[in-house]
Structure formats: structure tokens, C-alpha cells
Structure 1
Amino acid sequence: MTHSSQVTAIPKRTTVVVIGGGINGISVFRDLALQGVDVVLLEQGDFCSGASAALSRMVHGGLRYLENGEFRLVRQSLQERDFLLRNAPHYVFPLPTLVPIFDLFHGSFASLKRFIGLGKGPSRRSAVMIKIGLMLYDWLSRKSRSMPAHKFVSGRKLRAMSPSITPDARFGAIYYDAWVKYPERLGVEMILDTEAACPDARAFSYVGVEKVDGADIHWRDRLTGEVGTITPDLVVNATGAWVDFTNQALAGDQANNTPRFVRGTKGSHLMIRNAQLANALGDQMVYYENADGRICIAFNYLGVSLVGSTDILIDDPELARCEASEKDYMLSALRFVFPDIDVARDDIVHVFTGVRPLPVSDADATGRISRDHSHREQEPDEKRNFPVISLIGGKWTTFRVFGEEITDVVLKRLGRKRRCRTTDLCIGGGRNFPPVGKDQQRWLDTVLGDLTMDRQVFERLVERYGSRAIDVARFCQAEKDAPLNAVPTYSQREIEFLIRNENVRSLSDIVLRRTAIGLEGGISQNLIDEIGDLMATVLGWSNADLDRHKSLLTDEMGKKHSIV
């Protein structure tokens, strides 16, 4: 492979084309392939580079969705959370969560009004309503729950647990959800697993759909300029916040004839390096209300503190970026719950923003719009010869079951039967990976007996790749290796392994998604130059190619991450 070309050519013919390589599109791709369906995935950017890279890193049931009466969604999400704890134990972990509570009864009436659909926007929640919500949360997860039930604590015990919490908090609640360490990597691992198990399934990045002409989809490689066509029997539109734009392209840009399915809301997050805040958060997430009643979160993540998020309506996902007003809002919310901790703008080391693909709604507040998922089916017409199934909404946590539901719709149309389910299918480095504790230490001892790598270095690889760390370690040992000068915790051969084995096509793929360097605030010009030179050598880039990829990375960092 040279320059930015794909490893294999995009076929001319396939049964199903999945457009969109976010977590939901990848889930559909995986499930269809496992049923023996000939399937091709086309993604206009890198895999999991949109909303699937901009989640709050939580794998959760959605406690606040109970206020909207979305019991089915919460039950399903809690079940999927527990599946992920088992199937991706290298990336998904339990997360103790602390909820500061300010009032005993005040706010109960407003919560009840929201529950019956009469509320107008967020408001403070009482201890009584939070207690009812957490009891429901525990009950809905009773069949699959593998973590402790919730408990309430007094104000005195709350401040003993977290001395920096505002003294205005009268009570506290503790419950468990989960968090995901590397969501983008988990998506890529699902693609690698699928292509290894199903040779007829292929996923292609940086390939945009240009138009449709009868039976043919015209595509363009956005890095090389290569063009071509592919003829499917059916299309799954899994482009998230871009669903309506994609459907317009599939309808020959006839905007007036394409129904609107999605209206996005923007969610921005801050990565903050502040020792006081990190100490205050410890090993738990704080799930708190701002003064206006909106829910915010903060927890330590990969050496920095993740704070989020906003929830703002937006029509064009290409324009999504974290504005100064959003930063001010999130910092203000932090001061509300941690009044004695001084967090400055300069403490922000990274920003990321995504657009939630919510269904079109006339709700009076973004928090009232359903987070559940659904789909729409459009039959062939005079412009295109194939049906289109569009995915609407969906949470990151429920990607597996959403993919399963869409696969069942496709199988019914194709007249085929399901072969297997993904309920107990381990993902990537979660396969044969022991849980944290003595079992993992024995596993490490056994594996290190066949390697000549320093234990601390190998444990760092295990933290990043789970059981796939064995393959990475062997690759690193096969030839002379050295730490990166800009980020010594990564090595040259480790980065080369990712380039050669994880569908990497652009500099931003490595810096922003295959590694956590960006989230950790480690991007520098020296790093860009060092990894750029390595990629140029491996992929055969010319100087002009390298300069272009550096420019693309700089543009993406400026637009999406407020880094210039």
C-alpha cells in the first residue's frame, strides 16, 4: 500500500452497502457479515471520527432518560452496558458515580411535570425524585447487573468522601455505571474482527457518496481522488447527523423530495489538566446539576479530567465546534459544584465536539428529545433502483442491539435467516483477556515468559490493546525499536504496527483516534513531524503527500478540537 490507497479495491457489486462508519454503521456491518451477507461499508472520513469519537466516554443506561419515561431505552441500555463489560473487558470498566443532591423535596413537582410531558426545560431535582430514579435504575438492570446497587449518603459523609464538593449539597447518592477507555479503537477492532472472520466483508474509509444513477452509487476517494461505482441490492444509511444529507445525495440532490429524519444537538467536552480538580474527582465520576438544572459530568480520564457536556441544536454537523460560550458554561458549572477549585481556560488541553443524531422533534427543550433509536425504510423510486434503510438516533451504548435490529430488517427483505447473535461475542483485545486482579497478573506472567520485553512496557501495551498487546509486542521486538522523542510512552514500532494493521490512511487517524495522544493533550509540532515522517516511510508518501496530511490534521484540530 502506498500513498493513501485502500488495501483492496472497492467491488463493483455487493448485496448491501452500509454508508457511515460510526459505531452504529460498524455494528450493522459486523452483524450482516456474520450472517453471511455480502456487505461493503463506505465512510467519508476515518472510522469513528464523528459523533462516535465525541461521546462522554460513558457506557450507561441513561439515568435522566427515566424523567422522559423512556423505560425501554434505559432497560435496553443497561443490558447492553453489562454485555460490553463482558465482551470488551480491555476497554469498558465499572464507574462509581457520585451525585450531589441539593434539595429534599423542592423540584419534585417539576420532575413529575416533565415525566407526564408538561415540563418546559431543565430544573433542579429533589432527593425524593433521585431516589425513585435510582430505585428504578436498579430494578431495570436486575437481570444482568454485575455491579452494586445504589446507596444514599448524608451530607457529612458526602463531604468526607469529597471535601471539595459545594457545602450547599445536602445529600449524596452513589451508583455504578461504566466508562469506555478507547471508543474509537473499539470500533476499529470490530472492523478488523469482521474482515478477518468474513472475507467478503470490506470497510473503506475516506470514501464519500457523490450521487446515485439508477442501480449505481458513484463514490469518490477523498484522499486520492479516485472515483468509481458500486451496485447494491440495498443501502443502509448509518451516517448519523448526516442522514438527511446522505438521503439527499441518494435522491439526486432533490432536497424538496427527501423527508427530514434527524435534527442534531451539539455536545462539547473539555479535557482539563488541573491537579486540584483531579484530586477532587479521584476514581469516581461526579454527575451534577448546574444552577439551571442541566446535567453535567466530570471524571478523571487518561491522565486528565473530562468535563461535559453541552446540548445545543445544530442543523449542519460540519459546523460543529466548541464555542467560547460553551467553554465558559462548562467551567461555570464546575465552579458551581467545586466552588473552591480554580480552573482556568489555560488548563484546557483538548476539546472535542460531536453531534447527536436525534429524531426530528417539536420538543421545547433538547433534553426532552428522545435518545432512543429507530429506522425509516424508503422504497426504490425513479432515481434509484434500491431501497434505503436510514438509522435514526441511538446511543453509543446501544450500538450492538441497534445493529442487530437493523440486520433483522435487512435479512427479512433479503429472505434470509439469522445464523448467529453477537450477545456474547468478544471484541478485539477483549478476546481471551482476563479480568483485573490475580487472573490478569498470572496471564501477564505467562505471556511475558515468551517475550523479552520489560514488564512495565508490556503492561502499558496491555492497557492500550488488551490481549492484542501480544501481537504489538512481537512486532516491536522483531526489529530495532526506540521511544518517540515527542511522546516517549509510545515507540516507533508501536506506531508502525498501527499504521500497517489498523486501516490507517491519514496522519489524524493516528494522532486523534488510534492513540490517545490528542486526548491527553500531547499534540505538538515535534510530534506531528515525527509521526508524519514515520507514516511517510511506511506508506510511501512524497513530501507533497506529507505536507497535505499535515495540513489536513491542522485543519481538523482547529475545527473540532480548538487546537491550532
Structure 2
Amino acid sequence: MANLQRAKQLTNLKGNTNPSVLIVGGGINGIGLYRDLALQGVDVLLVEQKDFCSGASAALSRMVHGGLRYLEQGEFRLVRESLEERNILLRNAPHYVKPLPTTIPVFDYASGIMNALLRFLGLSEKPGRRGALVIKLGLTLYDFFTRTRRETPTHNFQGQKETFLRWPELHPDVKCSATYFDAWVTYPERLGLEMVMDVAQTDTAAMAVNYMSVASSDGKSVTLRDEVSGEEISVEPGIVVNATGAWIDLTNGALQGGDNEPAKKMVGGTKGSHLIIRNDTLLKAVGQQMVYYENQDGRICILFPYFGNVLVGSTDIRIDDPTDVRCEEEERDYILQSLAFVFPKIVIQPDEILYTFSGVRPLEYSDSSVTGGISRDHSCRTLPDSPQRDFPVLCMIGGKWTTFRAFGEQVADKILDILNSKRKSHTNSIPIGGGKDFPRDHGDFENWISDLRDRSGMDEARLRRLIDRYGSKAESLIGYMKQSTDKALISDPSYSQRELLHIIEQENVTCLEDILLRRTSLAISGGLSTALIDEVLAIMANARGWNQTRTTSARQEFLARLSKQHAVTLEAAEPQPVNA
């Protein structure tokens, strides 16, 4: 059976090759804009050359935050907007976005005041150590910005004695600590996918197709290439939005429409890499909090528990080619060195690094010598008009994952002005996917669990796992799972055969990596084995009707990607025969 969701979108696309808006890039910013425009009734087409949320949008630190450190750069508007958007996500996607207590170890009281002032005035870019006074000021502003609609508790400080009672493994030079709340996202890729799926369930002309790239443009039409079949489709959009992140300049080149003069460089990406570590001592030391700390060079790093392991990051390195980035050895060493600085008693062995991931931040081009000083704000710029191009090209530059909704709304308003259309609704109060009807009150949540358990007859632990993965959509999934005999996976009993089959049938899955890297946590949790890969592959091959040659090829492609991009090397034994 083919990917029915994608096949339907392709059929719709061939019947409507004149969309009002073509969005190129299916990362979180492109999806946020797509969702907003669709809700306004705009016939919008979104294309993504790989899978939805498969680039930088899948490589974030899993933080949904205001950006405490941006305050010393004077970016008050960005921090205020980020905190507002964090709170909106806590309300609209409570199944994936959750409050996270965050502790900052403080090494002295007064340092950093002068450097923070110079950075605020734009007279210095160099990061420096931040003492208790600077941190206190920043956290006070943090609390002030969210005073009218507070979703999390305010900050507090702990003295040295209290700090070491709670964090005995910290560096002995720590003088005190500060704890505040931000948020984290459990399944960022799924959250993006859910917005695409939400649009598909509405009565709109909007279309979204993954594995569809821009091949060329003659200035009037844009030729799209189906990366699965190789087929090319020509569309004539009224407006084009370039939301390709770190690939913006490359995409602009393809959209020039015969104009040989290159567009001005808009993006200067920086690479951020992370490690997933399995070390029981470190996990116990972190507890259920994030540690937000300074490395010796003044750069901010983070670590927190993630799917039973510890996520640690990140680096911030300029990079010219965003294709197939990976965590290099020197980045791994840098992250481990930063970890050894804040927790000097804890030793990480090489085999405790289960998984690595990297992404490129699509920051606005800057000649700044310090990458940490480059703004994380977002902007929308329009390519200069060209006699060789009939349609305007709007470029979505920069932005934090946290602010995708606000960024999308701002760009949508520009597009609505061009189309002479009025806004029909706002997305700030519309739940996302499994966040709809998801009880936020603890008592209501427990009552819901109890009711679901009674109606489904399902084990409560299993039920809670499904709700953690799918939110309120777990109810319909449970109904699907009970339509036929279901079995737990042998290699990972936390997932079942029909759960994965439902993902394959309903969630626009094209490749094996779509399931293992993005629709589930099987890879990033560090639990992959050849046996598990083969189990999942057999389910997909049977569902798709793949022969042995296609199945073997899919396996080899995934193992190669896993090794190259995520530093996970598994034995490449032959897969089991497919029972098609």
C-alpha cells in the first residue's frame, strides 16, 4: 500500500498548479506559516525536499524558552515575545510542551557586570562569566515579562549550603544557585507534523507535500521534483515564501528566474551539536531539572534528562554548507569538557554516548567574530524585484523554534496584505494535534486516565505511555489498536505492531527514518539495535508491499545515515525475509 496521505496531496497538487502561495521549506517556521495561511482560507502549497521537521527543526536543544542570555544583548522584544510564545505552547500543546525547572550554578557574586553592560551597549561581543547580581537582574526581568499571564513559578536563589545539599556533584567553587522555570518539548518533530495533519483535516485548499524539492524556475513557474518518483510538476504561484532555513541563499539562487546576478547573502548559519549520554550518576545528579551553566569560555551550555538519558549541548560554530552536518569529534570533546567543568566528579566513558545530533541555525548573515553575539531574532525580507521573475519572494530569516507561531503570523499578515485579504482567525488559542481536549489540571488528567483505562481495558502504564506520545489522539489510536490482534515489539515492548502500523498508515511516512528518527523516539532514546530496526522494517515493508530488494536497500540507507549523522554504528546483517 502506498503512502496514501502523500498520494492524495500529489493528486490535489496536480489539480491545482496555481496556488496563491508556495512555501518552500517544511521546517517549523514554514509549517507555522502554512497552518496560519490555511486557517485564513488561502490556497497555500507547502513543499519540503525531505521529511517535515527533518533539518534544524529536529535538532534543537528541546528547550522552549525565552532566551535568558539575550537580555544582556538588549533584545528585550525578542525575550518578551519568546516568553509569550512559550506560554502559548504550554497552553496549546500541553501533551508535548511541559514546564521545566532550570538551575543555574553561580560561581561568584559580582562578576560580569561590566561585560554585560558593554554587551548591552553593543561595545563588546565577547561572552563572559555572569555573577549572581547579573543573573538576578536577568531573572527579575524574566518574571516581569510574564507577570500578566503567568504559566510558571517565579525564580528563587539558593545559598551555597542549600545548593550542595541538592547538587553535591557540582564544581566545588560554586557559590550559590538560581532556579527558574522555562519549558521543554518532548517530541518537536511530531508537534510540527501534527500541525500539518491538523490542516489536512480542515476543509481548505491547502496542500503539504514532503520529499518534494524545487528543481528550477523560469521566473513565471516553479518546477518541483518528486524526490520519490523523480516526476516533475510545474506550478505558477502568486507568491513564493522561502522558508528553507540555512538553505535560504541556495534556494534564492534556484528562484532567480534567469537573473544571473546573485541575491545578496541573507543567512550565515552556525552549527549546534548535542550528545545523548547514558550515565546513571549523571542522570541522578541532574534529577528532574535542567542545569543551565557556563563553560569556562563563557558560552552557555545545558543538560537535562531526556527519555531516561541525559541530553547535553551545545556548540555554536560557523558553517558554510548545511548539508548532512554531524557532531564532529572536536565538538564532542568540547561538550564533554564543559560537562567535566560543571560536574568534575562525574566521568563519561566513550561508550556512554548513545547518540549525537546536529543542526544549523539559520541566523541572519553577520560578520560578527563571536557567534554567540549574533541575534536569534527573526525577520522577513523580500527579494528585490526582477524583470525575469513574475512573483515576489519573501524570505523567513532566523528565528528560534519557540517563536515559530508568532513568526508565521507576522509573515501571514504580510501575505494577506499582498492578497488584499483579511485575517479570519488567530492561532494563539488554537490547540495543536493531541493538545486538543488535553486536561491540564492534574485532577482532571488523572480522572481522564482512569476513564480511559476503564473503557479500553488497557494496562495503565501502557496507557500513560501512549498519552505521553500522542496526547488526546491516543484515544483514537487505542480504538485502532483494538480492531485486530496486537503484539508488543520483541526488541522494544514499549511499542506495539499496530501502533507502528497506525503511524505508517496515518502519518505520512515515506522512509524508514521517518519512523525511527521522527515519528518515534526509538533512535534518540538510544535504544536502536539491528533486531529492532528489522522488526520495524518488516512492519513497514509489509504495509508498503516492498520486495526483498527494496527492503534491503531501505535498511542499508538507514544504517548508513545512522552512522554518518548520529554516530551510531550497528552491524549490517541481512534483514529477515519479507512476508509481503
Per the normalisation by structure 2, the TM-score is 0.95
**SS of residue matched to 1:358:** coil
**SS of residue matched to 1:8:** helix
**SS of residue matched to 2:201:** helix
What is the aligned partner in structure 2 of residue 6 from structure 1? Answer: 7
Question: Which of these residues, 502, 506, 510, is aligned with residue 505 of structure 1?
Answer: 510
2:456 and 2:307 mapped to 1: Cα distance? Answer: 27
**SS of residue matched to 2:268:** strand
Does 2:214 match 1:209? Answer: yes
Counterpart amino acid of residue 519 in structure 1: I
What is the aligned partner in structure 1 of residue 114 from structure 2? Answer: 109
Aligned partners of 1:314 and 1:320 also within 8 Å: no
**SS of residue matched to 1:257:** coil
Counterpart amino acid of residue 250 in structure 2: F
What is the aligned partner in structure 1 of residue 297 from structure 2? Answer: 292
Structure 1 residue 13 displacement after superposition: 2.1
Does 2:390 match 1:385? Answer: yes
Counterpart amino acid of residue 282 in structure 1: G
What is the aligned partner in structure 1 of residue 549 from structure 2? Answer: 544
Question: Which of these residues, 79, 84, 96, is aligned with residue 79 of structure 1?
Answer: 84
Aligned partners of 1:22 and 1:50 also within 8 Å: yes
1:556 and 1:72 mapped to 2: Cα distance? Answer: 39
Counterpart amino acid of residue 171 in structure 1: C
What is the aligned partner in structure 2 of residue 263 from structure 1? Answer: 268
**SS of residue matched to 1:40:** strand
What is the aligned partner in structure 2 of residue 450 from structure 1? Answer: 455
Aligned partners of 2:218 and 2:258 also within 8 Å: no
Report the more deviating stretch, 376-385 or 513-522. Answer: 376-385
Aligned partners of 2:156 and 2:178 also within 8 Å: yes
Structure 1's 436 and 530: CA in aligned 2 closer, same or farther, altered over 3 A? farther
What is the aligned partner in structure 2 of residue 404 from structure 1? Answer: 409
Question: Which of these residues, 155, 165, 168, is aligned with residue 160 of structure 1?
Answer: 165
Structure 1 residue 452 displacement after superposition: 3.1
**SS of residue matched to 1:444:** helix
1:88-128 deviations in whole A, cap 9, x for unaligned?
01001111000001111122212211111122421111111
**SS of residue matched to 1:405:** helix
What is the aligned partner in structure 1 of residue 572 from structure 2? Answer: none
1:319 and 1:475 mapped to 2: Cα distance? Answer: 37
1:254 and 1:368 mapped to 2: Cα distance? Answer: 34
Structure 1 residue 418 displacement after superposition: 0.3
What is the aligned partner in structure 2 of residue 223 from structure 1? Answer: 228
Structure 1 residue 465 displacement after superposition: 0.6
**SS of residue matched to 1:52:** helix
What is the aligned partner in structure 1 of residue 306 from structure 2? Answer: 301
Counterpart amino acid of residue 8 in structure 2: V
Structure 1 residue 252 displacement after superposition: 4.6
Structure 1 residue 374 displacement after superposition: 0.2
1:407-442 deviations in whole A, cap 9, x for unaligned?
000000000000000010000001001126221111
**Superposition pairs of residues 82-481 of structure 1, within 5 angstroms:** 82-252=87-257, 256-378=261-383, 380-435=385-440, 437-481=442-486
Structure 1 residue 8 displacement after superposition: 3.1
2:259 and 2:22 mapped to 1: Cα distance? Answer: 21
1:245-283 deviations in whole A, cap 9, x for unaligned?
111111158674211110100000000000000000001
Per the normalisation by structure 1, the TM-score is 0.98
Aligned partners of 1:379 and 1:386 also within 8 Å: no
1:260 and 1:555 mapped to 2: Cα distance? Answer: 33
Does 2:561 match 1:556? Answer: yes
Aligned partners of 2:219 and 2:258 also within 8 Å: no
Counterpart amino acid of residue 509 in structure 1: D
Structure 1 residue 339 displacement after superposition: 0.6
**SS of residue matched to 2:234:** strand
1:455 and 1:128 mapped to 2: Cα distance? Answer: 47
Structure 1 residue 64 displacement after superposition: 0.2
**SS of residue matched to 2:213:** strand
1:28 and 1:402 mapped to 2: Cα distance? Answer: 8
Structure 1 residue 344 displacement after superposition: 1.7
Structure 1's 234 and 40: CA in aligned 2 closer, same or farther, altered over 3 A? same
**SS of residue matched to 1:341:** coil
Once superposed, what is the RMSD of the aligned Cα atoms?
A: 1.4
Report the more deviating stretch, 535-544 or 155-164. Answer: 535-544
1:483 and 1:319 mapped to 2: Cα distance? Answer: 34
1:502-540 deviations in whole A, cap 9, x for unaligned?
111110000000000111111121122111111111122
**Superposition pairs of residues 48-87 of structure 1, within 5 angstroms:** 48-87=53-92
Counterpart amino acid of residue 90 in structure 1: H
Report the more deviating stretch, 15-24 or 453-462. Answer: 453-462
1:270-320 deviations in whole A, cap 9, x for unaligned?
000000000000011000001111100000011110000000000110042
1:24-58 deviations in whole A, cap 9, x for unaligned?
00000000000000011100000000010000000
1:476-501 deviations in whole A, cap 9, x for unaligned?
11111111122111000000000111
**SS of residue matched to 1:6:** helix
1:26 and 1:319 mapped to 2: Cα distance? Answer: 21
1:490 and 1:256 mapped to 2: Cα distance? Answer: 53
Counterpart amino acid of residue 453 in structure 2: L
Does 2:522 match 1:517? Answer: yes
Structure 1 residue 379 displacement after superposition: 5.1
Aligned partners of 2:324 and 2:565 also within 8 Å: no
Structure 1 residue 206 displacement after superposition: 0.6
1:501 and 1:255 mapped to 2: Cα distance? Answer: 43
**SS of residue matched to 2:355:** strand
**SS of residue matched to 1:354:** strand
1:301-353 deviations in whole A, cap 9, x for unaligned?
11110000000000110042100001111111111010111112211101110
2:536 and 2:549 mapped to 1: Cα distance? Answer: 16
What is the aligned partner in structure 2 of residue 529 from structure 1? Answer: 534
Aligned partners of 1:359 and 1:370 also within 8 Å: yes
Counterpart amino acid of residue 237 in structure 1: N
1:347 and 1:334 mapped to 2: Cα distance? Answer: 14
**SS of residue matched to 2:472:** helix
2:390 and 2:432 mapped to 1: Cα distance? Answer: 35
Counterpart amino acid of residue 476 in structure 2: D
**SS of residue matched to 1:128:** helix
2:392 and 2:326 mapped to 1: Cα distance? Answer: 34
% same residue: 50
Runs of 5+ unmatched residues, structure 1: none
Aligned partners of 1:3 and 1:545 also within 8 Å: no
Structure 1's 253 and 397: CA in aligned 2 closer, same or farther, altered over 3 A? farther
**SS of residue matched to 2:310:** strand
1:121 and 1:367 mapped to 2: Cα distance? Answer: 8
Report the more deviating stretch, 545-554 or 400-409. Answer: 545-554
2:551 and 2:238 mapped to 1: Cα distance? Answer: 38
1:509 and 1:61 mapped to 2: Cα distance? Answer: 30
